[in-house]
């Protein structure tokens, strides 16, 4: 899939890592992709109701990793639909393997750059919620420009989220949390549901991942940010 360059995507916020694909993950991709994976064509706008074969609340998780949060939310809210975008095949394989084992029908996955999918393939006001949990903090100062949470990206999300829809971010990197808060507080598109300039307590709707629990054992704090799209 190729697209013309945009200002938003001149700097990559991720690095593709090959990773080790297990036999179960590869088998899941081989057998379940046709039902739960989405192959996106150039200039194609995705019809999410058609993809999920129903009208329901639509949630997007960007960079779902091993899919712990995505799988948990889909299981707990079967009446909602969950779209996950990630670039790492082992994680996608893991999600599809769990989808098959647990007969989860309300998940679809895309293997692609989330910014390109949001920019070229998702319609305005097509999402009820967007989740961005523990994105790469690019902790070295010279790499901060690679961070995903920047004003142009937040404006793009605002276009794709429905009025009164939600944007939920979380990070365990304090300096990045402060940047996220600064960017979102400066946005004219979102309202902080916890109060101006405030982080949110972890909503019960956000599952704790193994990565997060390990960090807590090491004394790491987690910062949640919960914003609502303005009308």
> CB–CB of 76/206 below 8 Å?
no
Locate 2 and state its tokens.
């190729």
- Strand 81-86 and strand 58-62: the pairing is parallel
- Determine how many CB atoms are found less than 10 A away from the CB of residue 145: 11
Distance CA 40, CA 141 (A): 34
What kind and span of H or E run contains 216?
helix 210-217
The torsion region of residue 125 among left (phi > 0), alpha (psi -120 to 50) and beta comes to left
Q: What does DSSP assign to residue 126? A: -
Catalytic residue (choose from 136, 172, 189, 224): 136
* CA distances to 47, 126, 162 from 167, in Å: 21, 13, 10
Distance CA 59, CA 165 (A): 10
Active-site residue flag, 124: no
Q: What does DSSP assign to residue 37? A: B
- Determine how many CB atoms are found less than 10 A away from the CB of residue 105: 14
CA nearest neighbour of 109 among 183, 39, 188, 207: 39
Q: What does DSSP assign to residue 194? A: S
Active site residue ranges: 136
């Amino acid at each position: 899939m190729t697209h013309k360059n945009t200002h938003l995507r001149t700097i990559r916020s991720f690095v593709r890592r090959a990773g080790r694909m297990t036999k179960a993950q590869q088998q899941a991709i081989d057998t379940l992709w046709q039902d739960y994976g989405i192959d996106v064509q150039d200039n194609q706008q995705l019809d999410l109701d058609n993809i999920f074969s129903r009208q329901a609340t639509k949630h997007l998780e960007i960079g779902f990793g091993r899919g712990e949060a995505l799988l948990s939310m889909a299981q707990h809210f079967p009446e909602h639909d969950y779209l996950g975008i990630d670039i790492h095949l082992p994680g996608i394989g893991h999600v599809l393997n769990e989808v098959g084992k647990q007969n989860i029908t309300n998940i679809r996955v895309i293997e692609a750059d989330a910014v390109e999918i949001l920019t070229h393939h998702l319609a305005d006001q097509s999402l009820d919620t967007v989740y961005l949990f523990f994105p790469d903090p690019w902790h070295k100062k010279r790499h901060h420009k690679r961070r995903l949470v920047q004003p142009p990206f937040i404006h793009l999300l605002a276009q794709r989220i429905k009025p009164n829809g939600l944007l939920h971010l979380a990070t365990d990197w304090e300096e990045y949390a402060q940047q996220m808060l600064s960017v979102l507080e400066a946005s004219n598109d979102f309202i902080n549901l916890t109060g101006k300039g405030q982080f949110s307590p972890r909503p019960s709707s956000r599952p704790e991942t193994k990565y997060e629990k390990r960090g807590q054992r090491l004394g790491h704090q987690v910062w949640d940010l919960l914003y609502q799209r303005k009308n």
